[in-house]
Structure 1
Amino acid sequence: MGDTVIVVGGGVVGLTTAVVLAERGRRVRVWSRDPAARTTSAVAGALFWPYRIEPAERVGPWALRSLREYLVLAGDPAATGVRVAAGLMTDTPLAGLGSWADELPELREARRDELPDGCAQALRGRLPLIDMPAHLAYLEERLGAAGGGVERRTVAGLAEPAAEAAVVVNCSGLGARELVPDASVFPVRGQLVVVENPGIDEWLVSAAGNGAGTSYLFPQPFGLVLGGTAEDHAWDPRPDPETAAAIVERCAALRPEVRGARVLAHRVGLRPARPGVRVEAVQLPGGARLVHNYGHGGAGVTVAWGCAEEAALLAG
């Protein structure tokens, strides 16, 4: 079992970490309670942007590494689910975004005639926008091609995988609250609405306010994703009709053609937040090495590759 690594968690962070490890020659098994299509990752928007994640000094390098990978993957969007799309991020200054923004030469201050009604400032640029169901399937296929695999398995404690592998990587997200246990992990509930796209081909994020009322429109192959919410310590996975109606109304205020679009789906995801992302290694009493990689909040997609590479290094 000396060359075996068990990754606990089959969302985007777990699968990306498993891919990196497998492509470096490790024998990788992913233990996941749910299929990838039923994880929180599958609900994500998912626009590349460091959203609700700390600490900033570590997030920057993780995001930069991930951005470079997504730009490569965007060369084949049909296979990877990743494409580069144009759009607007309102109420966000260009200064201070971090080194990752330097990789996007088209990112600039929007002209006044490019601003939606009611918006005084925005950035305009082209960013990776990921079709998460397609991307998760791609990661599973890439893992399989590298010799790894995914097993449906519920884990009651991290001692279970440690009994079968010399290295365990904990990518359990919100599950880390019980598995570690780590009481600092908490859910940030996000609700969104998927509607028939009335012809919108650019993404739009209105980041005014404290983040709880951030509005966004993400055109995806399966429909137009409207959001969203960010409710700390909210555990209810059921869509709330009043919240859904408010989301549609906020988005329609930005793009009036959304009003009246046929609703295709309501979705809720519980983002696995923590005061700071935990990527570190500890030694277990039985001799196995445990690498933690969890607490990514609303930016798991944005930092997945950077965190995966750091976790792989810690795995030895």
Structure 2
Amino acid sequence: MENDVIVVGGGVVGLTTAVTLAERGLRVRVWSREDVTATTSAVAGALWWPYRIEPEAEVGRWALESLRVYEELAADPGTTGVRLVPGVHADTVLAELGPWAREVPGLRQLAPEEVPGPYATGLAARLPLVDMPVHLAWLRRRLEAAGGLFERRTVTGFEEPSARARVVVNCTGTAARELVPDPAMRPVRGQLVLVENPGIEEWFTSAKAEATGTTYFFPQPGRLVLGGTAEEGDERPVPDPVTASAIVARCARVRPEIAGARVLGHRVGLRPTRVGGVRIEAMSLPGGGRLVHHYGHGGAGVTVAWGCAERAAALVEGV
């Protein structure tokens, strides 16, 4: 066959997996319905933190493995899009987090008077904040430098890619609901507002897993990203103006200068959440091929991308 692996899906999970495989010497091709800058991943905030993702026992390990990679990539933020930025997770108690939290450098509980806005508890940390359009373009270049190929191609079933490669890796995110099909997929709508940055240099979040309305802002180059929502069962692709106004108002409760910031644009994405958590599983295909499912990363695809890619790569290689 002309390929060892075809990865279906060109978001952060698909590209990171493809890079991991190509740098092991495999002949890898990515088939993606959209360009990397038009994927759901391109809309992400994107702060490293295990948010809306399961299973908890596995997620901590995947997240820490990815954290170590991002810490290295942050040495060249202009190229990779990864920076280490300080900030605050409000409404969060360190003792209530999983064992993974003890291994995050510098993560500490704040005194009530240190927490900004109308919040009584919070954590301080210096974490990777990823400029996703830059990072996705860098991942594609890294894939191509390793000999991999990226193609715009719509996949309606796994028969075609399995005829072109001995292993197919399914990184289709929300599309797995119809493609597999997998009724456990529950897309969760997220809406963002992009504004001119009025001088904010630290990120902030108050985003409980069960909340439909969240509050966060991330300083990215050339913009401040405001969020957000977590609306299960709502798959509207068009930004809602009432929701956008509410997002700005919530963020302005923490930093009042946000209220007067000029709006640059709006974004909507569907987090690929799955009941039962991330699915990384290999199965045999007719003719002796292998299909590796790798989807359902919820709101933390960036957070676990490198750790999950290692697990998926092991299944590709039959380990």
Q: TM-score, normalised by structure 1?
A: 0.97
Give, in angstroms, the shift of residue 209 of structure 1.
8.0
The residue aligned with 1:161 is 161
The residue aligned with 2:241 is 241
Please list the CA deviations of residues 240-259 of structure 1 after superposition, one character each: whole Å capped at 9, or x if unmatched.
Answer: 00000000000001110101
- Return the alpha-carbon distance in structure 1 between the equivalents of residues 267 and 3 of structure 2: 39
- Does the CA contact (< 8 Å) of 1:2 and 1:166 recur in 2? no
- Return the alpha-carbon distance in structure 2 between the equivalents of residues 120 and 23 of structure 1: 46
Q: Which shows bigger deviation, 163-172 or 175-184?
A: 175-184
Return closer, same or farther for 1:175/1:97 CA change in 2, 3 Å cut-off. same
1:206-217 map, 5 Å: 206-207=206-207, 210-217=210-217
Please list the CA deviations of residues 146-191 of structure 1 after superposition, one character each: whole Å capped at 9, or x if unmatched.
Answer: 0001000000101110111100000000111111111111210000
The residue aligned with 1:314 is 315
Q: Which shows bigger deviation, 135-144 or 95-104?
A: 95-104
The residue aligned with 2:191 is 191
Q: Which shows bigger deviation, 91-100 or 253-262?
A: 91-100
Please list the CA deviations of residues 268-294 of structure 1 after superposition, one character each: whole Å capped at 9, or x if unmatched.
Answer: 001111011100100012221000100
| Aligned-partner SS, 1:303 | helix
Alignment of 1:294 onto 2:295: yes
| Aligned-partner SS, 2:244 | helix
- Does the CA contact (< 8 Å) of 1:67 and 1:100 recur in 2? no
- Does the CA contact (< 8 Å) of 1:64 and 1:99 recur in 2? no
- Count of residues paired in the alignment: 316
Give, in angstroms, the shift of residue 103 of structure 1.
3.4
- Return the alpha-carbon distance in structure 2 between the equivalents of residues 298 and 114 of structure 1: 27
| Aligned-partner SS, 1:273 | coil
- Return the alpha-carbon distance in structure 2 between the equivalents of residues 39 and 105 of structure 1: 31
The residue aligned with 1:73 is 73
- Return the alpha-carbon distance in structure 1 between the equivalents of residues 189 and 301 of structure 2: 14
Q: Which shows bigger deviation, 209-218 or 278-287?
A: 209-218
1:257-276 map, 5 Å: 257-275=257-275, 276=277
Please list the CA deviations of residues 85-110 of structure 1 after superposition, one character each: whole Å capped at 9, or x if unmatched.
Answer: 00000111112433433333311012
Q: Which runs of 5+ in 2 are unaligned?
A: none
1:11-90 map, 5 Å: 11-90=11-90
Return closer, same or farther for 1:85/1:61 CA change in 2, 3 Å cut-off. same
| Aligned-partner SS, 2:229 | coil
- Return the alpha-carbon distance in structure 2 between the equivalents of residues 56 and 142 of structure 1: 30
Give, in angstroms, the shift of residue 3 of structure 1.
5.5
The residue aligned with 1:280 is 281
The residue aligned with 2:305 is 304
| Aligned-partner SS, 2:85 | strand
Give, in angstroms, the shift of residue 2 of structure 1.
7.5
Q: TM-score, normalised by structure 2?
A: 0.96
Alignment of 1:8 onto 2:8: yes
- Does the CA contact (< 8 Å) of 2:45 and 2:218 recur in 1? yes
Return closer, same or farther for 1:2/1:209 CA change in 2, 3 Å cut-off. closer
The residue aligned with 1:176 is 176
| Aligned-partner SS, 2:268 | strand
- Return the alpha-carbon distance in structure 1 between the equivalents of residues 103 and 132 of structure 2: 23
- Return the alpha-carbon distance in structure 1 between the equivalents of residues 74 and 209 of structure 2: 31
Code of the aligned partner of 1:28: V
Q: Which shows bigger deviation, 8-17 or 111-120?
A: 111-120
Give, in angstroms, the shift of residue 208 of structure 1.
5.4
- Return the alpha-carbon distance in structure 1 between the equivalents of residues 153 and 130 of structure 2: 27
Code of the aligned partner of 2:157: G
Code of the aligned partner of 2:170: N
Alignment of 1:141 onto 2:145: no
Return closer, same or farther for 1:151/1:253 CA change in 2, 3 Å cut-off. same
1:77-156 map, 5 Å: 77-156=77-156
- Return the alpha-carbon distance in structure 2 between the equivalents of residues 132 and 50 of structure 1: 17
Alignment of 1:223 onto 2:223: yes
- Return the alpha-carbon distance in structure 2 between the equivalents of residues 260 and 237 of structure 1: 26
Q: Which shows bigger deviation, 56-65 or 189-198?
A: 56-65
Code of the aligned partner of 1:170: N
Q: Which runs of 5+ in 1 are unaligned?
A: none
